[in-house]
Structure 1
Amino acid sequence: MMSQQLLMHGGVQHEPVGAFAAKVRDGQHAEMFQMQQYLADWFGGAGMPCPMGS
């Protein structure tokens, strides 16, 4: 989220910081997509079961 905000709001003052922020943003996006795929594959449309019984 911090990387996305930095990139969206023009907060990058040094090119290496911008490149790093883009790498972090893209890597985390890929990780979130992968987790969503696992949840869909393992639990279908019901989502993940709640261990607390709520």
Structure 2
Amino acid sequence: MSKSIHITKKNFKGLTKAELDQQAQDPNSELREWALKRAKKKEVKKNRKNEKSS
């Protein structure tokens, strides 16, 4: 099964500051899932760049 995360910035478009703060506190929110996705993408890109340099 794929481990892809299907969350985009569009999921947060139009949310108020209070709603974003509420999602930041919830451990299972889409906002946290998006942050996890961004961290994984950065790590993958960094690893690919290092592999090319070697």
With structure 2 as the length reference, what TM-score do the two structures score? Answer: 0.49
If asked which structure has higher relative contact order (CA below 8 Å, sep 6+), I would say 2
Bigger Rg, which one: 1
